[in-house]
Structure 1
């Protein structure tokens, strides 16, 4: 891998900017890469609990899944593992490196086998769904995604799996990367909308239907449909279709297929 090659995990141009990540993704590069590639793995000492990077990373992921990144700390991970906090630093230099390793491990989950048939379009649909499922399993990943790759084995396997399905279909190497970036950016955008919607329900204690039921009668006293006829018509149609102001599932399917339609049009124009 050269300095000019890179896996695409960041936002696509035009996609909403990622929220500022927590204190992480900024550790010492050499130490982070050594943890990612397990070059300094050490065996546990005799009569000590078995401890290794994979177990530490797995515990970090479990904590983040259950309680979010804000609850994650080296001390909390050590407590879950039943060891002293300082023991972790023998394997993982700090929280920054732990977050990098957790993100890389999560990315590795999407590097599945390719379809035997179905072509590039089916492949990209699979890629999109794999990534959406990843964000739904591990919502904290969205807080760590930036324009800079992790450069670990998990993300590199993910990128190779995703980009390989576009090889030889009529795109240049740069275009292949750009198409994948568009798809992943769309998925990230939808995943954030979905996460925000679910967090709103949790924090407010109201479902979308309850939220609208409480406000619709009040809105009718202010809203003049004759003044905003298109907004009134479209808003009513969307509300009836989705039971909410928006549907992440519909946006995912609609946007994905429009992106793929555009790629198909480009390929046809070159035949």
Structure 2
């Protein structure tokens, strides 16, 4: 009598694993712990699953990292009007790339160590290559131009992330910058150029990124004009 209403409440079943859930959890774990803190055991714990159950969907930890990296890169929105200039398109795309990498600080650490052959990565590579191809760059020069732009962005963000991870207190950062500026001024006699031009107190990463990117694009534009 009473049936289901009188039986003890059963513990809800765990959601069945899927590759999509594993990748989503891997991205979250990497966001929280970074590459060094990532392990299949920790990933399984986040999914409330057994470690061995993950291997029904992937062959190795390296597969999960590849999938997570492609998922992160896929967050870079591909945008740009057909009639927009190549500089405008690349500036927009590289700015979006930086935002995504700041949101997922582990991406720069993985980009240089893994083949970017996932669908998200290839689609974004196609976008960048096609943009410069339409501008008239081709062959080895096209590959070199793409490498120069992407290398600048990855390197800038990697240094920015390293700095941000070390100096989370604005007051401590400002104090260090002031000491550096003071050192340069005191050594102006033997470091005249640094003393005259370096402003250690400038902590505007956004402005620095935009200016550096424009310098890289100026070099590409000079090559296009030279043709």
- TM-score range (shorter-chain normalised) is 0.7 to 0.9
- Tell me by how many angstroms 1:186 deviates: 0.5
After TM superposition, the runs of 4+ consecutive aligned structure 1 residues lying more than 6 A away are none
The equivalent of 1:254 in structure 2 is 211
Q: Give the Cα separation in 2 of the matches to 1:103 and 1:117.
A: 31
Q: Contact conserved, 1:186 with 1:252, CA < 8 A, in 2?
A: no
| CA distance in 2 between partners of 1:195 and 1:163 (Å) | 27
- Residues 217/249 of structure 1: CA separation in 2 closer, same or farther (3 Å cut): closer
User: TM-score by structure 2 length?
Assistant: 0.83
Structure 2 residue 36 is matched with structure 1 residue 70: yes
2:57 is equivalent to residue 94 of structure 1: no
Q: CA RMSD in A?
A: 2.6
Name the CA distance, whole Å, in 1 between partners of 2:113 and 2:143.
Answer: 14
> Partner residue of 1:20?
none
The change in CA–CA distance for 1:77 and 1:114 in structure 2 (over 3 A counts) is same
Cα distance change of structure 1 residues 206 and 196 upon mapping to structure 2, 3 Å threshold: farther
Shift in Å, 1:156:
1.2
Contact 1:59 1:80 in 2 (8 A): yes
2:200 matched to which residue of 1?
A: 239
TM-score under structure 1 length normalisation: 0.70
SS in 2 for 1:165: helix
Consecutive unaligned residues of structure 1, counting only runs of 5 or more, are 1-46
Which structure dedicates a bigger proportion of its chain to helix?
Answer: 2
Query: Structure 1 residues 248 and 217, CA, compared in 2 at 3 Å: closer, same or farther?
Result: closer
Q: Distance in 2 between matches of 1:172 and 1:58?
A: 37
Return the alpha-carbon distance in structure 1 between the equivalents of residues 144 and 135 of structure 2: 14
Are the counterparts in 1 of residues 156 and 209 from structure 2 also a CA contact under 8 Å? yes
